Amino acid sequence: MKRSLLFFLVFFVSVVSAVAQLSLSKIFSNNMVLQRDEPIHIWGKGVPDNSLEVQFGKETITITVRQDSTWGVFFKKRKASTAPQSLHIASSKQKMELTNILIGDIWLCIGQSNMEWPTAKEMHFEQEKKHTDQPMLRFYNPTYAGKRIFNKSFTDSVLKRLDRREFYMGSWVESDSNTVKQMSAVGYYFGRKILETEQVPIGLINMSIGGAPIETFIGRDCLEEDTLFSSKVKGNWLYNDALPVWVRERGKQNVGDIQVIHKDELGPNHAFKPGFAYSAGIEPLFKMPIKGVIWYQGESNAQEIERVNEYGKLQKLMIEDYRTQWKQPELPFYWVQLSSIDTANYKSNYWPEFRNEQRKLLKEIKHGGMAVSSDIGSKNDVHPTNKKDVGLRLARWALHKSYGKNVFPSGPLIRGATFKNGKVFMDFKNTANGLRTSDNKGVRGFSFDGKELVSAKLNSHTVEIQSQEKPKYIYYGWQSFTNANLVNSENLPASTFKLKVN
């Protein structure tokens, strides 16, 4: 009798364990969006050698789970569809169903707190609430371990989730006045504009992390294999001088004194650890085609000149790796240039140099673009609350480059500067119907040394400045908090720049 009971219990536990092993990757849930015009890849885990039947719409595929417990299927490419569809997975022991799935475009939203900044705190939210019920706009907006925990040690519950498989937790939802509240405001306004223009379902995946450095969004292998940046993944990251000082200080506050923790040879796991957000959130998405990436990050890498000078190369490395891993060599990547803040309340001394490094990337990155935000910064706050204009400016780049719309993607961008007959002449592109000033006053923001402002004359598509001798450089918007006011006829601001005069 006892042996029979023991056999039954073992058999029961085995069956329950086997049944429980059938699963989907956690990016899949009800209400999700799948990328149009690309093969639809569905994958998960199951019991080795078990047969699975996977049905999506009218297409059904039967497969056998691999010996390593993984399985995956590819369905045919599909055009955008607003008709809700279902996904069915069945084994001999278990059935799974996902519903309300749309086919459209997926955009990944990544960066630090200004990308993470929730719509509920955005300055236009009260007026925007009546527009947020958008069933064709979907969010995957997971929480992450350690969110909003500052200047103190993580609790045991947070420490348990400092594993790449548990770090992000969430599911897809439709946009409405409730779900939108914690969604990235930049992402929301970007997605709503694309939806409004293209009339195809839009899915936004938000993996942004407040305070995160760029290094956490780059793969460890990618950093190790790069001769310029391999030092960033050597030894305990909390004591690695190749990483931003502030980032390491926050890491020490959260996990520095904790002994029992998920860790490896690079030290304890944390959202800011090099490669961690990549392995926890970005890498699992490489099997899923997406439309493109929007990126708002830099504040944590802009406080030391060494970090500023390397940033352009780091971002280029990240973009090239993402394109390689997604097997999409023309994957669109649009970023936000750092805004403005006064040095009296924030360590922003190097922000002009940083913004210029971001601008110079425009020549390095094909299928990329940069939204300028220095005109809508907050003098005393690193988190300007006008995220609507930021999202809309990113959307301009996407509509122009990714969707082929006839819109101007940005404000004036400097082409060159020449000295002739006692004047410096500056030529700009993206002037639209002509150069203007944002406040209809005289143009300001130019200097020859980055400090003392000089008077300038505004022409239709050029700017000129009188000078008795040829200056070495011309600067624009070269203050951490700038009131430079050059725009084009679309009222889009010019970028900060430093340029050699010919």
Helices (H), 57-184: 113-116, 125-128, 156-160
For residue 487, give both structure tokens.
Answer: 């725009």
Question: Which residue type occupies 404?
Answer: G
Q: Are residues 421 and 446 in the same domain?
A: yes
Asked whether residue 271 is assigned to any structural domain, the reply reads: yes
Q: Are residues 39 and 188 in the same domain?
A: no
Asked whether residue 407 is assigned to any structural domain, the reply reads: no
Asked whether residue 341 is assigned to any structural domain, the reply reads: yes
Q: What is the DSSP letter of 352?
A: H
User: What span, in angstroms and rounded, lies between the C-alpha atoms of 270 and 436?
Assistant: 46
Structural domain including 430 reads: 413-500
Q: Are residues 319 and 457 in the same domain?
A: no
Tokens 């006053």 belong to residue: 441
Q: Are residues 236 and 274 in the same domain?
A: yes
User: What span, in angstroms and rounded, lies between the C-alpha atoms of 416 and 429?
Assistant: 10
Secondary structure element (H or E) that encloses residue 423, with its range: strand 423-429
User: What span, in angstroms and rounded, lies between the C-alpha atoms of 105 and 179?
Assistant: 19
Asked whether residue 10 is assigned to any structural domain, the reply reads: no
Asked whether residue 1 is assigned to any structural domain, the reply reads: no
Q: How, if at all, do strands 473-476 and 497-500 pair?
A: antiparallel
User: What span, in angstroms and rounded, lies between the C-alpha atoms of 247 and 301?
Assistant: 9
CATH number of the domain bearing residue 78 = 2.60.40.10
Tokens 């995956």 belong to residue: 72
Tokens 């673009």 belong to residue: 369
Of 83, 78, 79, nearest in space to 40 by CA: 78
The predicted structure's pLDDT at residue 345:
86
Tokens 């990544």 belong to residue: 110
Q: Are residues 204 and 244 in the same domain?
A: yes
Where among 61, 86, 101 does a domain terminate?
101
User: What span, in angstroms and rounded, lies between the C-alpha atoms of 80 and 135?
Assistant: 14
Maximum alpha-carbon separation in the chain: 107
Asked whether residue 241 is assigned to any structural domain, the reply reads: yes
Q: Are residues 484 and 375 in the same domain?
A: no
Pair 266, 164: CB distance under 8 Å: no
Cβ burial, residue 290 (10 Å; 0-12/13-18/19+) = buried
Asked whether residue 3 is assigned to any structural domain, the reply reads: no
Helix axes 351-360, 305-326, angle to 10 degrees: 30
- At residue 496, φ and ψ (nearest 5 deg) are -50, 140
Of 386, 366, 368, 367, nearest in space to 376 by CA: 386
For residue 77, give both structure tokens.
Answer: 């490419």
- At residue 499, φ and ψ (nearest 5 deg) are -140, 140
Q: Are residues 72 and 157 in the same domain?
A: no
Q: Are residues 229 and 341 in the same domain?
A: yes
**At a CB cut-off of 8 Å and minimum separation 6, what does 399 contact?**
193, 194, 197, 405, 407, 409
- At residue 143, φ and ψ (nearest 5 deg) are -80, 165
**At a CB cut-off of 8 Å and minimum separation 6, what does 179 contact?**
139, 141, 173
Where among 79, 101, 123 does a domain terminate?
101
The number of distinct structural domains making up the chain is: 3
Tokens 């058999």 belong to residue: 11
For residue 147, give both structure tokens.
Answer: 């969110």
Q: Are residues 165 and 234 in the same domain?
A: yes
Q: Are residues 220 and 141 in the same domain?
A: yes
The predicted structure's pLDDT at residue 1:
42
For residue 170, give both structure tokens.
Answer: 């969430």
Pair 101, 32: CB distance under 8 Å: yes
Of 320, 227, 215, nearest in space to 266 by CA: 215
Pair 23, 69: CB distance under 8 Å: no
Q: What is the mean pLDDT of each run of 10 residues along the chain (502 residues)?
A: 40 42 96 98 97 96 97 98 97 96 98 98 97 98 96 96 97 98 98 98 98 98 98 98 98 94 96 98 98 98 98 98 98 98 95 98 97 97 98 98 97 97 96 97 97 95 96 98 97 98 98
CATH number of the domain bearing residue 142 = 3.40.50.1110
Q: Are residues 173 and 88 in the same domain?
A: no
User: What span, in angstroms and rounded, lies between the C-alpha atoms of 96 and 98?
Assistant: 7
**Helix (H, G, I), strand (E, B), or coil: what is residue 45?**
strand
Of 365, 428, 374, nearest in space to 397 by CA: 365
User: What span, in angstroms and rounded, lies between the C-alpha atoms of 188 and 122?
Assistant: 11
Q: Are residues 115 and 59 in the same domain?
A: no
Asked whether residue 216 is assigned to any structural domain, the reply reads: yes
**At a CB cut-off of 8 Å and minimum separation 6, what does 387 contact?**
114, 117, 119, 122, 123, 185, 186, 189
Where among 402, 423, 447 does a domain terminate?
402
